[in-house]
Structures are given as structure tokens and as C-alpha cells.
A and B are shown apart, each in its own frame.
Chain A
Amino acid sequence: MTTSAEQLETFLQRVPYVRFLGMRAELAGDEMTAILPFAPHLVGNSFIQALHGGVIGAFLEMTALAQLSVAQPSPRVHKTIDITIEYLRPGRALTSYARADLRKVGRRIANVHVEAWQDDRAQPFAALRGHFLLSAAG
């Protein structure tokens, strides 16, 4: 029997791209907070030192997948079907946080909303809505 924390750690450690981003996560009960420290290679606009839109989207998508790995443990990585990313404010050169809300987890498909913020939880800078194809439980 593995704990949720172990499942999450396994997911984060196994995916090379998670390390490329420099993303980590903390678990409080079943609620996960994903954390993305600022790093120079994540910048998309050097003039204002803003995070790349693709990085923001990727961080939100990985947050959804990480939360799903806790809620629906599987030896395989769940698959993204579609995502819509909304950009609300520039992602500044600060640590970013994100939390995923599993709106519906069916037998095969999950609907997930994710919101990301930096220094103020009430001022999100990006959001994601997406569908994910669930891999079989291990």
C-alpha cells in the first residue's frame, strides 16, 4: 500500500520534463499545491522577464496530471485529450503556485480545472480547463 505522497513523489520523479521545468509539489491531505520556482530558462519575454506562455500552460497541465496521479493511481501516465489555457496576467519572475480541481472523474475521462497564482492567491495569473484520458489503475 503506497500513500498519496509516495504516489505523487513517484510521478514527479519519473517524468524527466518535470525536472526540466523544476516543478515540485506539496500535499496536504488530498489537496496538492504545485510549485514552480522561477528560473531564467522559463522566460518568454526578456524585456519584462515574463514566463513563457507555453511554460505556464505546461505547468498547469502537469499540475492536473500530478493531481490525477494522486486521485487515480496508475503505473502509466494519464493522457491529455484537450486543454484550454486562459492567460489573465503576465507570469512574473517569481515562484508560481497552482492547484487542480477535479471537476469530474469518470471511468475513462476526467475534467480538471487548474488555477495558478504568484504572490496573491486571489489574483490568479492563469487558468486551465482540460480533459484527460485515464490510464488503468495499477
Chain B
Amino acid sequence: MTEIPDLVRQMAEHMATTVPQAASLGFKLVSVGVGRGSIQAPWREDLVGDPDTQVIAGGVVTSLLDHTCGLAMASAAGTEAFSTATLDLRIDYMRAAAPRAGVVAEAHCYKLTRTIGFVRAEAWDVDKSDLIATAQAAFVLNRPRAAAPTA
């Protein structure tokens, strides 16, 4: 297991909890590794997507998956300063989450080129072997030196 620099761990903690959307959803950092990240989103009454079943909204899962993919991207890039933008994000919903259950997502940036990162992610509520959703995303990596002169 490769050691994670403190800076990356701090960045991960910051990303998971202080980004406004992440904070408003109550995200908590579960773990971070090289090109990997995991974040938890707790269930909350105001985040319900189906009032008949009290199941958490798909939108929360979308934010969680996007954010966890971004974390995996960031940890793959290491301590280098950069910004990312999501190019596309595909989510397959296998089943609804359990009523009143929070969701955990885990993402892996399995390829990082100079400009693009490719990330896969999974989300589950109770049991990691029984997924509620999977995701596949591509991110653009904006390195400072590659920044456009007009930016």
C-alpha cells in the first residue's frame, strides 16, 4: 500500500467536507488512497426522493458519485496544483436504496493522462456486495502550465 502524502489527505478532507454542496449534504470522508477515494452521505429527511418509501433522492447519489470521482481524480494527481471539470458522468441505478439509509461511494481513477482522467465508481447502502448504483466518468485536468493564456 503506497503511503499517502499528508497534503493529499488534507486536500481529501477539505474536498469531502468543506465544498458547499458537500457540506450541505453532510458528506464524510471514509478513505483516500492513490487514485482512490470513498465518501459517505448520511440519510436525511429533507433529502428524500420518494416520499412513499423514504428512500434518499437519486440526486444525492449523483452528487456523491460525482464528488467521489473528483476525489479519486485529485488523489491520482497527487500534490500537483490543478483544477478539474467533469466531462461526462454515466450512472446506472441497479435498485433503490433501503428506506432511511445513507449511501457510501467508492471511486477509482484507473487512468490519468496529461489532460484526462477516467474514473469508475460504485455506491451501496448497507452491503458493498449489493450495489445500488455504478458510475463511469471522464474529467478534464487543468494543469496550471497548460492553462490557456486567455484564462
Contact = CB atoms under 8 A, between A and B. Distances in A.
A58 B92 contact: no
Contacts of B64: 54
A19 B49 CA distance: 10
Contact of A17 (B20, B46, B66, B92): B46
A83 interface: yes
A47 B83 CA distance: 10
B48 A15 contact: yes
Interface stretch (A85-93, A100-108, A114-122): A85-93
Interface stretch (B55-63, B112-120, B122-130): B55-63
Contacts of B85: 53, 87, 90
Size class of the A contact interface (CB-based, 8 Å):
35 or more
A15 B48 CA distance: 7
Given A15-B49, A17-B49, A54 B62 contact: yes
> Which of B66, B83, B96 neighbours the largest number of chain A CB atoms within 10 Å of its CB?
B66
Interface of B: 19-24, 45-52, 57-60, 62-67, 70, 83, 85-93, 96
> Lowest 3 A-B CB distances belong to which pairs?
A54-B63, A58-B59, A17-B57
